[in-house]
Amino acid sequence: MFKIKASTIIAHCIAWIIFISLPLLFLSNRPEGVDFLHVLFSWNYVVFICTYCFVFYLNCYVLIPDFYLRKRFFAYFGILLALILVVGYIKPFDNLLAASNHRPPGMMQNPPPAFPPQGQPQNFQQGPPPNNNNRPAHPRNIDAISIFLFIMATGVSAAVSISERWRQIEKRATIAEAEKTSAELSFLKAQINPHFLFNTLNNIYSLAVTKNDNTADCIMKLSNIMRYVTDDVSEDYVPLQSEINCIND
């Protein structure tokens, strides 16, 4: 599971605020008017928000890491098909539109009946009532907008999950490369230092046997080199003068 950062939480909050505001912006353009308080506190609005939140985070943090990235494509697309059938059945957007049909208080539900002008006879003849038995039954409409929002939620969540996993892989690769370089440098030092030490000691031994006056000075320079290699080189940054002194020694 990914580590959640503060920037990620803020980005998610801003995105969801924009998303939950879109239906209100869409309904605000209706000429008959909308009671926004009724829509905001309606059960259909809660179902609309919870449906797509559930789809987004389920796909982002469960389906993509545990099914898609592990190449369990049959199970992944089977679960998506089941989810899209559920969304098509509950119709969150159509139900939200039905909740928005509630008129604000004081707004007339139906226009007043139109009366004919004075002086014109009124026709009170009524024909036979229409026969509704011969009308074909209308099939259940498909909530295309809910399906479209489902596809958008799954697509965006998949992009977020895969990009987050890609950044994690890139970070791990960078750390592994740095650790590899450090290990190679340490291994190189472990190979060079003993040979350098043995050769230098042999040279100092030769100076001591011949009773050369530079013997003491060579021992001091070797001591300085070993102190620099064992103590200072382990730090990330060292003074430039210390590096120069080691080269001179």
Whether 114 is in a domain gets the answer: no
Tell me, yes or no, whether 52 and 153 share the same domain.
Answer: yes
Domain assignment present for 46: yes
H/E stretch holding 76:
helix 73-90
Residues 238 and 199 in one domain: yes
Residues 156 and 237 grouped into a single domain = no
The whole-number average pLDDT for the span 103-113 is 49
pLDDT at 104 over 70: no
Tracing tokens 């506190």 back to the chain, one arrives at: 41
- 240 in helix, strand or coil? helix
Q: Answer whether residue 164 is part of any domain.
A: yes
> Do the beta carbons of residue 23 and residue 48 sit within 8 Å?
yes
Q: How far apart are CA 60 and CA 194, in angstroms?
A: 54
Q: Name the phi and psi angles at 212, rounded to 5.
A: -80, 145
Q: Is residue 62 part of a domain?
A: yes
Task: Give the residue, 190 or 153, on which the prediction is more confident.
Answer: 153
Q: What is the helix (H) or strand (E) element at residue 172, kind and residue range? A: helix 144-209
Q: Does 53 share its domain with 152? A: yes
Is the per-residue pLDDT at 126 higher than 70? no
Q: Find the angle CA(162)-CA(165)-CA(166) to the nearest 5 degrees.
A: 85
Q: Which residues contact 150 (CB under 8 A, 6 or more apart)?
A: 52, 55, 83, 84, 87
What is the tally of structural domains in the chain?
A: 2
Residue 9 CA to chain centroid, in angstroms? 9
233 pLDDT tier (thresholds 50, 70, 90): low
Q: Which has the closest alpha carbon to 214: 203, 202, 229?
A: 203
Same domain, 44 and 161: yes
Beta carbons within 8 Å of 154's beta carbon, 6+ residues apart: 55, 56, 59, 80
- 215 and 236: one domain? yes
Domain that holds residue 202: 184-248
Q: How confident is the model at residue 139 (pLDDT cuts 50, 70, 90)?
A: very low
Q: Which residues contact 84 (CB under 8 A, 6 or more apart)?
A: 147, 150
- Which residue type sits at 153? A
What is the number of other CB atoms lying within 10 angstroms of the CB of residue 91?
22
Instruction: Give the pLDDT confidence of 154-200 residue by residue, as tens digits.
Output: 888 888 888 888 888 999 999 998 888 888 777 776 666 777 888 88
Q: With residue 161 as reference, give the H or E element that holds it.
A: helix 144-209
Q: Is residue 16 a contact partner of residue 53, using CB atoms and an 8 Å limit?
A: yes
Q: What is the mean pLDDT of residues 196-208?
A: 88
| Phi, psi (degrees; rounded to nearest 5) at 140 | -70, 125
Domain identity same for 157 and 219: no
More confident residue, 188 or 2: 188
Residue 118, domain member (yes or no): no
What mean pLDDT is predicted for residues 224-241?
78
- Is residue 201 domain-resident? yes
168/188 same-domain check = no
Report which DSSP code applies to 112. Answer: P
